């Protein structure tokens, strides 16, 4: 079993989605965690609703700082940042740079703020699909 830490800024959207995909669809090979460099302290309610509609187990989801994983006894096989550097977000610094994989995924937060329920579902679904595709590619490469 390999451990993956997904990290973004707020730990309320992208990293939460990634953690959920792994732990609900690939738990036979991986255990996922998520954290943020500047965590919001809450998981976005629309993201939770979207994941709940997929019948995902949401019990372990929370917004937390990535610092708790730096000296953790949990050995991380992958640390994947899902920050969108094009939007000048600050991605966290991990002690072992050779462990970091960077996925440039747009932060859906600003789009969600001014959207109705149907638009929110589309935005979150698009983010989910981008992350899911990247996870599937990671798993395919892992199996080679």
Catalogue the active-site residues: 8, 83, 91
- Whole-angstrom Cα distance, residue 81 to residue 94? 10
Nearest to 136 by CA among 37, 25, 16: 25
Burial (CB count <10 Å: 0-12, 13-18, 19+), residue 129: exposed
Q: What is the largest CA-CA distance in the chain?
A: 43
């Amino acid at each position: 079993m390999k451990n993956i830490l997904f990290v973004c800024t707020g730990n309320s959207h992208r990293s939460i989605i990634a953690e959920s995909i792994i732990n609900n669809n690939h738990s036979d090979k991986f255990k996922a965690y998520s954290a943020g460099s500047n965590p919001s302290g809450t998981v976005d309610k629309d993201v939770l609703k979207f994941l709940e509609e997929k019948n995902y187990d949401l019990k372990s989801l929370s917004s937390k700082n990535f610092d708790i994983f730096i000296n953790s006894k949990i050995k991380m096989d992958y640390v994947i940042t899902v920050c969108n550097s094009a939007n000048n977000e600050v991605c966290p610094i991990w002690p072992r740079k050779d462990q970091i994989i960077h996925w440039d995924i747009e932060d859906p937060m600003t789009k969600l703020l001014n959207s109705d329920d149907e638009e929110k579902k589309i935005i979150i679904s698009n983010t989910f699909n981008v992350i899911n595709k990247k996870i599937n590619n990671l798993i395919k490469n892992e199996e080679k």
